[in-house]
A and B are shown apart, each in its own frame.
Chain A
């Protein structure tokens, strides 16, 4: 490897931030300057840019051509149009970001090396959705350039400071989970502003405060790295620089410091010529496959105009009020009219199921048909007026695809089963499209499978809404509420209903549900801080002389702090009562101040804290019920349960991070920390992943409540009135029908419909069933409680019941020990006992008309 020096644009490029944009250019920035560079051969041609407002502390290139930076805790998208740079705020950082890495799947990884927290960010436009990921396997205080992505998509961390380390870690990503595995250690520790570059199967570690002139090249196979150290590869050494890797795998070290008697700011970039690649890119020769007119991509529209009496169902081509009906069935396969004799046609449709058509054909003797070629072909069925011998007023009954063609070789008949493919239509739809189709439904990934296919997703959403999904005879997806329309689409009386076909079937009590008990557990952490005021006055000025004469000693300030820390507390603030700074008469002698008195005190007052993370477990006991149904038939109970656990980085690491920050051992603030209030245990909410936070828990509970309400209504729709009439194409699943006969008066939505046509016999009928919700009586209202999640617990402050005690063995015969005893953390605070939260919701349903007169 040889490194070629290429000058940087003017500026003080100490600790610059840099990334390689998707178009191959190198973007480099710091507080006072920014520049973009084109790599040509072994040199970089730089163009200065307008400086960014505020220094980017981290910078990463995105797959969409932009870059993402962190400036003063705020994420910003950076766009470069030619040499015009612009920024858009992308919200607060999820944690104190020490490193930003672009993952192979396009997400962003943000790392806080001080707490080990790792977050994955999904970018949509100018918005980033953050989710907590598996924490780092070890603290890492020497980012950002010690972590990256291998060509196989794995994360790799090499070296750094958690103590000078030679550790290497590989992380395999699955969703928000990272499986960390240690790799072959570096031959020597690297830390202090070093960098790593990553390419397919290769890691190059460069510079740093230790071994600044070294480059260590590792060839990666699995978790094994074969390391080779190149001594003095970097003339003068280099640290606190940035590093990028070109598409061709070439390393570029940018700015930083080199050593020449002292550390001086570098004014150049070092470009690796190992690969010998001068320019990288692929050459594509577009091949025109078709330049013909796309006339065959046009879609014919057919608008069928019929008398409104037919559309409304008052009459049909099979049922005329003015004359006898003469009808014919028109069957088309792939657009061509089937001219075989049609024996029977049965079309069945049921709520939230595919519409099925079965046809039996009798082809002419001797005809040859390639049956397998029919599978998947479009099949349409219409019924038309044939009273003039010409098919008129064709009314569509079915539109779908042939699923199963069959043949009976004995009788010489063909059978065709076709479906409107409701499941297939939904399978390909996006979840957003299904959500739009099944409007007002609910969804929670804590209740349903977020990765479910479109059909399952549609079923999940339908379980939360009193509505049915089906495809119309014309092929349109539609959603129809269960509640009957106030004005029926059709009213059918005894003159139309075929004799003996009217029947009533009432729901069994055992199938009814009028109460659903939902148990939902939500477990999540909170951070807490116990705040104590600790004070002790060994002596004041009134007893000062007597104190000394009695042979007492003064407290060592260091011993005070050691005693507090030995008790596990963190000192927020401490004020000492100093020894007098003047000569004081003590018996026959004097107390004379000295310089050593600054290490002693007569007393102290300290504010200290105990910080810890505790898990809270809410147990929501939610009762969903239909009171008037309970009053009528007694309780019919079901139960459901669900649970969600808040995703948060390791709690032990969180506690350690807070304690280290309080103790000023690190300047990196923890993501979440409770405010210290003296005399209180003060709790604070933590930042959970969006999939598991309070909003997600509320969505889960609201989804479960909606499911319970829907179940209750659904079970009460078990009453059925069925009848058969001359074929009426207008009768379909989206219709509300009123049955108006001397025995039965009912109104409800169609649950099931079957059209039967037998051209051979001329018989054409429609059999339908109405789903009727009836339990408390027509006109009875079932008021509903709005589906809003019950309130959960909130972070609060509770009183500390016991104060700390301080003892100081001050006498000359004693050991001068300072002992501070703090009360133990209350179990209830630490363990977060399960809290039961009851709530109840009234479920609604709309009573359908059902009156039977015998």
Chain B
């Protein structure tokens, strides 16, 4: 059974985000692009824990680079829980969300993403993604 946890464009968890697209310039001159997305599940009474050590291990959102050494480096992405936190966030670092996530709109986690790519050849780069560890979804 597929998990009900997903990234959404809205805090009401009504529009699933399939992809996050950002525009950058070949000479690296484009302004960093800041985005807000919401991680959550609209299904009531569920909770999510790291499968390896439920309730103990911290759930993280990390930046996965499927083509390390080529494409865009993970350091082009910063993650934070607030807009203000982006400035001090470590490029490419994972974001900690606590030992469990609860479902429901009220418990959606607001995640701020900043994409600031260096000079690159023009093209579409799809080697990066935001990933979570393997989670268990159980009744809350």
Contact A427 B12 (CB under 8 A): yes
| A305, A335, A430, A477: residue with the most chain B Cβ atoms closer than 10 Å | A305
The answer to whether A424 and B10 have CB atoms under 8 Å apart is: yes
The distance in angstroms between the C-alpha atoms of A395 and B34, with both chains bound, is 18
Q: A289-B138, A425-B10 are in contact. Are A307 and B25 (CB under 8 A)?
A: yes
Asked if A54 is at the interface (CB within 8 A of a chain B CB), the reply is no
A813 interface hit (Cβ, 8 Å): no
User: CB-defined interface of A406-441 with B at 8 Å, one 1/0 digit per residue?
Assistant: 000000000000000100110111100100100000
The minimal Cβ–Cβ distance linking B109 to chain A, given in whole angstroms, is 12
Cα distance, A428 to B105, chains bound together (Å): 8
> Are the CB atoms of B125 and A303 closer together than 8 Å?
yes
Asked whether, in the complex, the Cβ of B115 is within 8 Å of the Cβ of A301, the reply is yes
- Contact A304 B21, beta carbon cutoff 8 Å: yes
In the complex, per-residue mask of B10-26: 1 if CB is within 8 Å of any chain A CB, else 0: 11111111111111111
Known interface pairs A307-B122, A428-B105. Does A288 touch B136 (Cβ–Cβ under 8 Å)?
yes
Closest to B63 in A: A301
**Considering only CB atoms, which chain B residue lies closest to A421 in the complex?**
B15
> Are A301 and B20 neighbours in the complex by a CB distance under 8 Å?
yes
Contacts A296-B3, A303-B128 given; does A308 touch B21 at CB 8 Å: no
Does A298 reach chain B (CB closer than 8 Å)?
yes
Q: What residues of A have a CB within 8 angstroms of the CB of B30 in the complex?
A: 308, 311
Chain A 309-351 residues near chain B, CB threshold 8 A: 311, 334-335
Q: Which residue of A lies closest to B131 (CB)?
A: A298
User: Which residues of B are in contact with A by a Cβ distance under 8 Å?
Assistant: 1-3, 5-7, 9-27, 29-30, 33-37, 46, 51, 64, 72, 76-77, 83, 105, 110, 115, 117, 120-126, 128-139
B21–A299 touching, CB < 8 Å: no
A426 nearest CB neighbor, chain B only? B10
Interface size on A, residues (CB 8 A): 50
User: Residues of A contacting B12 with CB < 8 Å?
Assistant: 424, 427-429, 454
Given A289-B137, A476-B33: A304 touches B10 (CB 8 Å cut-off) = no
With a cutoff of 8 Å between Cβ atoms, the chain A residues found around residue B20 in the complex are 299-302
User: Which of A303, A394, A401 is in CB contact (< 8 Å) with B24?
Assistant: A303
CB-defined contacts of A477 to chain B, threshold 8 Å: 36
User: What would 11 more interface pairs be, CB under 8 Å, given A292-B134, A429-B10?
Assistant: A288-B137, A294-B133, A297-B131, A298-B130, A305-B117, A305-B121, A307-B122, A311-B25, A393-B122, A424-B12, A474-B21
* Contact indicator B138/A287 (Cβ below 8 Å): yes
Q: Which of A287, A401, A429, A454 contacts B15 (CB 8 A)?
A: A401
Listed A/B pairs (25) with beta-carbon separation below 8 Å: A286-B139, A289-B46, A289-B138, A290-B136, A292-B134, A294-B134, A296-B3, A299-B19, A299-B130, A301-B128, A303-B72, A303-B117, A303-B120, A303-B125, A304-B123, A304-B125, A305-B123, A307-B26, A378-B16, A394-B124, A399-B21, A421-B15, A424-B14, A425-B9, A454-B12
A299 in contact with B7 (CB, 8 Å): yes
Assess the B3–A294 pair: CB atoms within 8 A.
yes
User: Which residue of chain B is the closest to A378 with respect to CB atoms?
Assistant: B18
Q: List, in ascending order, chain B residues with CB within 8 A of A286's CB.
A: 138-139
**Which residues in B have their C-beta under 8 angstroms from that of A301?**
19-22, 77, 115, 126, 128-130
Q: Is the CB of B124 within 8 A of A304?
A: yes
Q: Which residues of B contact A296 (CB under 8 A)?
A: 2-3
Instruction: Tell me which of B2, B27, B115 contacts A303 (CB under 8 A).
Output: B115
- Structural contact, B10 and A297, CB atoms closer than 8 A: no
B33–A306 CB distance below 8 A: no
Q: Which chain B positions have C-beta within 8 A of A421?
A: 10, 15
Q: Which of A290, A334, A394 contacts B2 (CB 8 A)?
A: A290
State in angstroms the CA–CA spacing of A298 and B13 once bound together: 16
Pairwise interchain contact A311-B128, C-beta atoms closer than 8 A: no
A433 touches B26 (CB 8 A): no
- Measured between beta carbons, the chain B residues less than 8 angstroms from A201 are none
Q: Which of A334, A396, A401, A429 contacts B21 (CB 8 A)?
A: A396
Which residues of B are found within 8 Å of A288, using beta-carbon distances? 136-138
Q: Which residue of A lies closest to B71 (CB)?
A: A303
Interfacial chain A residues near B29, Cβ < 8 Å: 308
| Least CB distance, B10 to chain A, in whole angstroms | 5
Of A307, A334, A424, A474, the contact of B18 (CB 8 Å cutoff):
A334
A760 at the binding interface (Cβ < 8 Å): no
Question: A293 in the interface, Cβ–Cβ < 8 Å?
Answer: yes
Judged by a CB distance under 8 angstroms, whether A365 is at the interface is no
A475 CB-CB contact with B under 8 Å: yes
Contacts of A425 in B (CB 8 A): 9-11, 15
**Inter-subunit contact A429/B11 (CB<8 Å):** yes
Contact A306–B122 (Cβ < 8 Å): yes
Q: Report Cα–Cα, A298/B127, bound state, in Å.
A: 12
The 8 Å CB contact of B129, one of A300, A399, A428, is: A300
Q: Which residue of A is nearest B46, CB measured?
A: A289
Name the 9 nearest CB pairs between A and B, nearest first. A428-B12, A308-B25, A428-B11, A301-B128, A299-B130, A303-B125, A298-B131, A429-B11, A425-B10
Given A304-B22, A311-B23, A428-B13, A297 contacting B122 (CB threshold 8 A): no
A595 within 8 A of B: no
- The answer to the question of A291 belonging to the interface, with a C-beta cut-off of 8 Å to chain B, is yes
In the complex, how many angstroms separate the beta carbon of A332 from the nearest chain B beta carbon?
Answer: 9
CA distance A477 to B11 in the complex (A): 12
Report the bound CA distance from A547 to B2 in whole Å. 106
> Nearest chain B CB to A479's CB is how many angstroms away?
12
Contact partners of A303 in chain B: CB under 8 A: 21-22, 24, 72, 76, 115, 117, 120, 124-126, 128
Please name all residues of chain B whose beta carbon is closer than 8 Å to the beta carbon of A293 when the two chains form the complex.
134
- Return chain A residues, CB-CB under 8 Å to B115: 301, 303
A286 to B138, CA, bound (A): 6
* Contacting residue for B19 out of A294, A295, A300, CB 8 A: A300
Expressed in whole angstroms, the minimum distance between the Cβ of A397 and any Cβ of chain B is 11
The answer to whether A287 touches B130, judged by C-beta atoms less than 8 angstroms apart, is no
Chain B nearest Cβ from A456, distance in angstroms: 14
| CB of B15, distance to nearest CB on chain A (Å) | 6
Which of A297, A395, A425, A476 has the most chain B CB atoms closer than 10 A to its own CB?
A297
Partner of B125, one of A305, A429, A474: A305
Chain A: minimal CB distance from B41 (Å): 10
| Bound-complex Cα distance A477 to B33 (A) | 11
Contact B22 A474, beta carbon cutoff 8 Å: yes
A294 contact set on B, CB distance < 8 A: 3, 5, 132-135
| Bound Cα distance from A815 to B3, whole angstroms | 95
**Given A300-B126, A334-B18, A421-B10, A290:B23 Cβ within 8 A:** no
Chain B proximity of A472: nearest CB distance (Å): 9
With A286-B138, A428-B10, A430-B11 in contact, do A302 and B126 touch (Cβ < 8 Å)? yes
Contact flags (1/0) for A365-385 with B, using CB distance below 8 Å? 000000000000010100000
B19 to A, closest residue via Cβ: A300
Known A-B contacts A424-B10, A474-B33; A290 and B1 likewise in contact (beta carbons under 8 Å): yes
Task: Identify A305's interface contact among B14, B17, B18, B120, CB under 8 A.
Answer: B120
> Once the chains bind, are A396 and B23 in contact (CB under 8 Å)?
yes
| Whole-angstrom CA separation of A837 from B17 in the bound complex | 53
Task: Please give, as numbers and ranges, the residues of chain A lying within 8 Å of B136 by CB-CB distance.
Answer: 288, 290-291
B residues within 8 A CB of A428? Answer: 10-14, 105
How distant is B136 from chain A, measured CB to nearest CB, in Å? 5
> For chain A residues 445-498, which have a beta carbon within 8 Å of chain B?
454, 474-477
What B residues does A284 contact at CB under 8 A?
A: 139
Please state if A299 and B27 are interface contacts (CB–CB under 8 Å).
Answer: no
B77 proximity list for chain A (CB < 8 A): 301
B129 vs chain A, min Cβ distance (A) = 5
* Distance between Cα atoms of A286 and B55 in the complex (Å): 13
Cα distance, A421 to B10, chains bound together (Å)? 10
Most B CB within 10 A of own CB, among A293, A303, A395, A429:
A303
Cβ of A302: which chain B residues have Cβ within 8 Å of it? 19-22, 124-126
CB distance from B112 to the nearest CB of A (A): 11
Tell me how far the C-beta of B104 lies from the nearest C-beta in chain A, rounded to whole angstroms: 12
- Chain B residues, Cβ within 8 Å of A334: 18
Nearest CB in chain A to that of B115: its residue: A303
Q: Point out the residue from B5, B21, B24, B126 that lies within 8 Å of A297, measured CB to CB.
A: B5
